């Protein structure tokens, strides 16, 4: 093969010296030597493509213009949404979210295969961009460092991450075309094929360009340099087999260079029109991600003054919610974990977001024009109803507000607030709500609890327990029993178990008794924000009047409401779930589990204690400290746990679909082979009391659902002790 061609002049090296990754995530054909002496390792930029510099500049200018136009087009549609307050508070936390969730793609790693695949592709893009930045500095500044030993190392890691990028592309191709991977088929489009195949071609053609150059310039003259560019070197050795003439290799080099650059610019141009926009939007959305609890819904401020409650038109969303629509990559992770979708019910979070995105694209420009001409909200512009036609009523009511979709979304979309906002419009503007849910709301308004037809009273659970102290402000804790804990027959044993354990631990506590009323959580989740705010404000005033400082709850929904949502009404209290208090009491010795319980148990993480508030350890610590109890985890557990089906007000709704969610979850529990299904939530217990017999009809050997307090009660007092007079256990501590 011929000797190396002459080194280009300074002008040639300046032009196009940094465009590799910028035009195609591959600097493999663009490394520079700058002013390196020819006896040192280094190479030319455009040694065989005289028209390369002007082509790169023209293509790059066109790309920048296209990207700017695309961003402005997107931003103009987001701008029809309402303001989003608070997005620039907690800047340090937001920057951490951007780094961890946006750039490091932390959530993608929940799917290990996808995590490796995305790391390969993303790290290749990042490193090759850094490679190109160094070329730019070398070629377009007085600095001179890309030669000698560093150039060889530079060539090595450039090729290394080019290969890593190809590994990622190969994994993506395998999952899409060879693995039976169901999510891909849910919303497959032509662009999906073009994106992955195009990226692979960019990387491959980069290696071909490098290989052809090495064959001409280094393979014979500087073989010790060539091996450092091991990817290009391998291609050069492959080409050498065919014994091409030099002019043929040069033609291959130039032709492949044009193909490489053209595909690269076209691929980058797709960012404007396809889901590739998540390369930019995902880190931005990570920055905008809420920094408070996932379990907190937004308050409708000045609710008495609102004309439209919630979201009935696309422009009623906040601009951040509209931005999230563009961030969606249609990966299907949200739908894959949605309990309603798993049970065959009419909800797919991915398709809901995509339907909203399509609706925004359809009506957004007309809304913009109407606002410009008339200055009002332009709600009459849309030819179809957002709620009811674009998004069906049954889709909204199927949501459990369990947060599984939000937990899994790799681009940080918050589906639950979007769904609840549309529910608010249905309930408060349209008065469209399932009859059974409407009955629960009416009962809340008239009787202060959602349970129609109950014959129990708030104090029924106290019978036979001796002196139950009423909270008067002198005790440390208010024991909040809750509506389910006092008014649902199955949950009375849970309430008494917690009470006896609190008393045994020596805790200073009291209860409200007849003064308890619903804290409003069912109303808020069902969409009646107006009723929720009335109940919340009343209860905050009650708590303050009684000097409540610390609260222990039975119910994770009450726990979440007091802890995360009452601060919206100036209600700041220290809130513990009973599993937290009991775990601590066992660890400090104030509670002792001395009676062995021979039981194989499985544990169900309730959504509002686990996923919404991150409390996973305390319940498991209790089980570990119960002598004789053996824990077998379900397949879906911890943050990946499946909802029992009651959340989002579905406790008071008839389910529509192939199966009931509680049956699906009960089946998963039964498959562990455990004899007891332990939970920490009165709603979950009720759902399993229905679900387990449906899945396991034979009573003999049937799994039995219990609250964790019931399990601990047996371990502390003995299995038969609760059948005796509870008052004998001792007096309550004031």
Per-residue pLDDT, 137? 76
Query: E strand or H helix at 700, and its extent?
Result: none
Rounded to 10 degrees, the C-alpha dihedral 248/254/257/262 comes to -120
Please name which of 682, 466, 459 lies closest in space to residue 558, comparing C-alpha atoms. Answer: 682
Sign of the torsion angle spanned by Cα atoms 165, 170, 171, 175: positive
Is 135 a residue whose pLDDT tops 80? no
The band of 438, judged by pLDDT with boundaries at 50, 70 and 90, is: very high
pLDDT tens, position by position, 462-480: 999 989 999 999 999 999 9
pTM of the model: 0.88
27-31, 229-233, 484-488: the lowest-pLDDT one: 27-31
CB within 8 Å of 471: residues ≥ 6 apart = 478, 479, 509, 510, 511, 512, 546, 548
**Res 54: pLDDT:** 78
> Confidence band (pLDDT; 50, 70, 90) for 139?
low
Q: Which residues, at least 6 apart from 128, have a Cβ–Cβ distance to it below 8 Å? A: 20, 21, 25, 26, 27, 28, 158, 161, 162, 165
> So what's the pLDDT on residue 688?
97
Token representation of residue 552: 């222990």
Rg (CA), the chain: 32
**pLDDT for position 23:** 37
Q: What is the mean pLDDT of residues 588-611?
A: 95
Say what the pLDDT of residue 443 is: 95
Count of CB atoms within 10 A of residue 123's CB? 14
Q: What is the pLDDT of residues 392-411, one digit of tens each?
A: 999 999 999 999 999 999 99
Quote the strand ranges of 439-476, DSSP E: none
Which two tokens mark 7? 């080194």
Q: How far is CA 645 from the centre of its chain?
A: 20
Residue 125, CA atoms < 13 Å, CB-side half-sphere: 17
Average pLDDT over residues 278-305: 92
Cα–Cα distance between 333 and 411 in angstroms, integer?
11
Rounded-to-integer distance, Cα 117 and Cα 115, Å: 5
* pLDDT confidence of residue 12: 31
Three-state secondary structure call for residue 574:
strand
How confident is residue 30, by pLDDT bands cut at 50, 70 and 90? Answer: very low
The residue among 239, 198, 175, 224 whose CA lies nearest residue 26 is: 198
Q: In the 8-state DSSP scheme, what is residue 17? A: T
CATH number for the region 292-432 comes to 1.10.1060
Residues sharing a CB contact under 8 Å with residue 442, sequence separation 6 or more, in sequence order: none
Please spell the DSSP secondary structure of 639-683, one letter per residue.
GGPPP-S-TTTGGGS---SSS-HHHHHHHHHHTTT-SEEEES-HH
Residue 38 has pLDDT above 60, yes or no: no
**52-66, 148-162, 509-523, 643-657: segment of lowest average pLDDT:** 52-66
With contact defined as beta carbons under 8 Å apart, do 479 and 552 qualify?
yes
For the chain, the structural domain boundaries read 10-84+120-280, 292-432, 438-718
Q: For 191, what's the count of Cα atoms within 13 Å in the CB-facing half-sphere?
A: 15
169: left (phi over 0), alpha (psi -120 to 50) or beta: alpha
The residue with tokens 């701008």 is 79
- Predicted pLDDT at 46: 62
With vertex at residue 701, the alpha carbon angle to CA 676 and CA 662, rounded to the nearest 5 degrees, is 55
β-partners of residue 509 are: 477
DSSP string for residues in 185-219: GGS--HHHHHHHHHHHHHHHHHHHHHHHHHHHHTT
Q: Residue 142's pLDDT band (boundaries 50, 70, 90)?
A: confident
- Cβ partners under 8 Å of residue 540, min gap 6: 566, 569, 570, 571
Q: What is the DSSP letter of 253?
A: H
Strands 629-631 and 599-603: parallel
Q: How far apart are CA 382 and CA 356, in angstroms?
A: 13
If you average pLDDT over every residue of the chain, what do you get?
Answer: 88
| Cβ-Cβ contacts under 8 Å for 35 (sequence gap 6 or more) | 144, 147
> Is the pLDDT score of 115 beyond 80?
yes
As a whole number, mean pLDDT of residues 478-503 equals 97
CB 569 within 8 A of CB 560: no
- Place 44 in a pLDDT band, splitting at 50, 70 and 90: low
Residue 132 phi/psi, 5-degree rounding, is: -65, -35
d(CA 152, CA 314): 55
């Amino acid at each position: 093969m011929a000797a190396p061609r002459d080194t280009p002049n300074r002008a040639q090296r300046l032009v196009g010296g940094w465009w590799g990754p910028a035009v195609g995530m591959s600097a493999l054909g663009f490394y520079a030597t700058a002013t390196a002496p020819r006896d040192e390792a280094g190479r030319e930029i455009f040694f065989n493509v005289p028209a390369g510099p002007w082509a790169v500049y023209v293509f790059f200018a066109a790309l920048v213009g296209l990207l700017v136009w695309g961003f402005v087009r997107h931003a103009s549609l987001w701008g029809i949404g309402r303001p989003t307050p608070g997005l620039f508070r907690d800047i340090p936390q937001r920057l951490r979210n951007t780094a961890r969730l946006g750039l490091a793609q932390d959530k993608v790693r929940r799917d290990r295969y996808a995590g490796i695949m995305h790391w390969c592709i993303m790290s290749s893009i990042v490193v090759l961009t850094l490679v190109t930045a160094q070329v730019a500095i070398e070629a377009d500044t007085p600095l001179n460092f890309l030669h000698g030993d560093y150039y060889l190392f530079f060539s090595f890691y450039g090729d290394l991450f080019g290969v890593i990028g190809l590994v990622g592309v190969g994994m993506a191709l395998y999952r899409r075309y060879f693995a039976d991977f169901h999510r891909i088929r849910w919303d497959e489009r032509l662009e999906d094929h073009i994106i992955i195949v195009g990226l692979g071609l960019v990387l491959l053609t980069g290696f071909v360009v490098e290989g052809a150059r090495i064959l001409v310039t280094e393979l014979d003259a500087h073989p010790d340099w060539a091996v450092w560019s091991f990817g290009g070197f391998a291609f050069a050795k492959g080409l050498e087999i065919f014994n091409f003439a030099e002019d043929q290799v040069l033609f291959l080099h130039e032709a492949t260079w044009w193909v490489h650059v053209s595909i690269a610019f076209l691929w980058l141009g797709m960012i404007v029109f396809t889901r590739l926009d998540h390369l930019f939007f995902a880190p931005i959305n990570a920055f905008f991600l809420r920094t408070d609890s996932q379990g907190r819904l937004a308050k409708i401020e000045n609710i008495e003054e609102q004309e439209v409650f919630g979201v009935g038109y696309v422009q009623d969303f906040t601009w951040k919610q509209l931005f999230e629509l563009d961030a969606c990559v249609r990966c299907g992770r949200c739908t894959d974990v949605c309990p309603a979708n798993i049970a065959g019910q009419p909800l797919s979070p991915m398709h809901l977001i995509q339907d909203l995105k399509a609706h925004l694209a359809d009506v957004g420009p007309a809304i913009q024009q109407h606002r410009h001409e008339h200055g009002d909200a332009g709600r009459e512009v849309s030819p179809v109803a957002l709620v009811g036609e674009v998004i069906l009523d049954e889709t909204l009511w199927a949501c459990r507000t369990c947060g599984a979709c939000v937990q899994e979304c790799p681009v940080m979309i918050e589906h639950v607030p979007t769904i609840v906002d549309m529910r608010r419009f249905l309930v408060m503007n349209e008065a469209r709500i399932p009859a059974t849910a409407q009955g629960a709301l009416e009962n809340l308004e008239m009787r202060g609890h959602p349970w129609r037809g109950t014959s129990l009273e708030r104090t029924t659970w106290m019978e036979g327990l001796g002196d139950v102290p009423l909270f008067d402000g002198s005790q440390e804790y208010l024991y909040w029993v809750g509506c389910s804990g006092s008014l649902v027959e199955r949950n009375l044993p849970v309430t008494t178990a917690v009470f006896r354990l609190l008393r045994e631990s020596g805790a200073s506590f009291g209860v409200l008794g007849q003064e308890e009323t619903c804290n409003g959580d069912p109303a808020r989740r069902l969409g009646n924000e107006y009723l929720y705010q009335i109940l919340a404000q009343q209860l905050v005033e009650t708590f303050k009047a009684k000097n409540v400082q610390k609260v222990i709850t039975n119910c994770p929904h009450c726990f979440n409401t007091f802890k995360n949502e009452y601060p919206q009404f100036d209600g700041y209290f220290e809130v513990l779930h009973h599993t937290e208090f009991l775990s601590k009491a066992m660890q400090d010795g104030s509670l002792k589990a001395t009676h062995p319980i021979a039981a194989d148990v499985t544990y169900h993480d309730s959504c509002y204690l686990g996923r919404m508030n991150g409390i996973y350890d305390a319940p498991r610590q209790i089980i570990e400290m119960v002598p004789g109890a053996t824990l077998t985890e379900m397949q879906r557990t911890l943050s990946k746990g499946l909802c029992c089906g009651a959340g989002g007000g579905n406790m008071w709704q008839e389910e529509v679909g192939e199966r009931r969610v509680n049956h699906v979850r009960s089946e998963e529990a039964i498959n562990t082979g455990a004899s007891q299904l332990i939970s920490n939530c009165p709603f979950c217990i009720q759902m399993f009391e229905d679900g387990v017999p449906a899945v396991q009809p034979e009573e003999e050997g049937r799994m039995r659902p219990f609250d964790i307090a019931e399990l601990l009660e047996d371990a502390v007092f003995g299995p038969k002790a609760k059948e005796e007079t509870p008052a004998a256990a001792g007096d309550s501590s004031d």
